[in-house]
Amino acid sequence: MSQQTDKSSNTVWHRATVTRQRRAQKNAHKSVVLWFTGLSGSGKSTLAHAVEEHLYQNGLNTFVLDGDNVRHGLCSDLGFSEAERKENIRRISETAKLLLEAGIVTLTAFISPFKAERAIAKRLMPQGDFIEIHCYCPLEICEQRDVKGLYKKARLGEIKDFTGISSPYEAPENPDLKIDTSLLSIEQSVQKVTALLRDRNILPAHAL
């Protein structure tokens, strides 16, 4: 597993002439990181992709960093111990920061169970550019959904350190937005996210 090490004294940050501000002018919209967090089965990925589709249809440049997809490449060397989960979120945070600078509305869909790691991700971003969205869903409903069969395996002891069963989920205390996905439809949830983006002046005037 890769660990964060001290920066080499031989590396110097290169300041590009094409800045984030210039990209925003060209794109006609701001970039931001939407960080979806919640239990497995809470609807994070479904909502993130639905929000992306809405934004894309309105002409915004978007990209979703999905938990399972990232573990097929960028984080394929990591397991699910607490230390490896922290490293997973660290890598995702740095990737999201690069996409933010690239002028892209970046949506991340990760359980990201620990408050400390979400706080580190937030501190990486400029003030106001990290929007934490808690996809709340009661554990029993997440287990009823269990589309991947993971809760069943965790209950049987076949999966160790499984969030909500054998590993804790530290829910956000003051998220920018909390969506109860057990009560709201996907359409209603998308509307809540886009309303927040409109309030933050991230959606351009022409967006629906």
Mind telling me the catalytic residues?
A: 112
Helix H or strand E segment including 131: strand 130-136
Tokens linked to 79: 């397991």
From the list 50, 55, 33, 48, the residue with the least C-alpha distance to 207 is 55
* First-last CA distance in the chain: 44
Phi then psi for residue 36, to 5 deg, are -90, 125
Amino acid letter for position 14: H
Other CB atoms within a 10 A radius of the CB of residue 41 amount to 22
Phi then psi for residue 169, to 5 deg, are -115, 120
* Helix (H/G/I), strand (E/B), else coil: 113: coil
Q: Can you tell me the distance from the alpha carbon of 40 to that of 150, in angstroms, rounded to the nearest whole number?
A: 9
Whole-angstrom CA distances from 24 to 13, 95, 102, 126 are: 22, 19, 9, 15
